Amino acid sequence: MSRLNSIVIHCRDAYAAGPFWSLALGLPPVPEDAAALRNRTLAEGESVLLRDPDGRQPDVWISPTSDPDRGRGLVHLDIRLDDLAELPALIDAGAQVAWEVYEPHRWTVLAAPDGVLFCAIHPS
């Protein structure tokens, strides 16, 4: 059975959005991202990962993009599949494949029946 893995918030400036969403959601950045924010050393396009130290909440990715309104929307969900056989079930339920990503991890970007994009994270 699939489950919510993470929420992705698209932004124009991760240095502004990362600390804001960290405070608003009560989720600290992982140590390496906290250091990169503090030292302003994020690579171009690098996301910031906010993670509940107790693991009770899904991860939140603050993901920079030059145009957060185009195509994706400002927020999307990442759904972790327990079994790759769940992917055809999502498609049978009305999702359409938008594109697939293979590196460094594998996931399929799907459009829900209403057009909202989300990622189906393949099992490890």
Q: How far apart are CA 26 and CA 14, in angstroms?
A: 17
Look at strands 3-11 and 48-50 and give their pairing: unpaired
Q: Can you say whether residue 115 is alpha, beta or left, with left for phi > 0 and alpha for psi between -120 and 50 degrees?
A: left
- Give the pLDDT band of residue 99 (cuts 50, 70, 90): confident
Residue, of 75 and 43, whose pLDDT is higher: 43
CATH 3.10.180.10 is right for the domain spanning 3-121 = yes
Tabulate helix, strand, coil % of the chain (nearest 5).
25, 35, 45
Residue, of 75 and 39, whose pLDDT is higher: 39
What's this model's pTM, rounded to 2 decimal places? 0.74
pLDDT at 18: 92
Element (H, E) at 7: strand 3-11
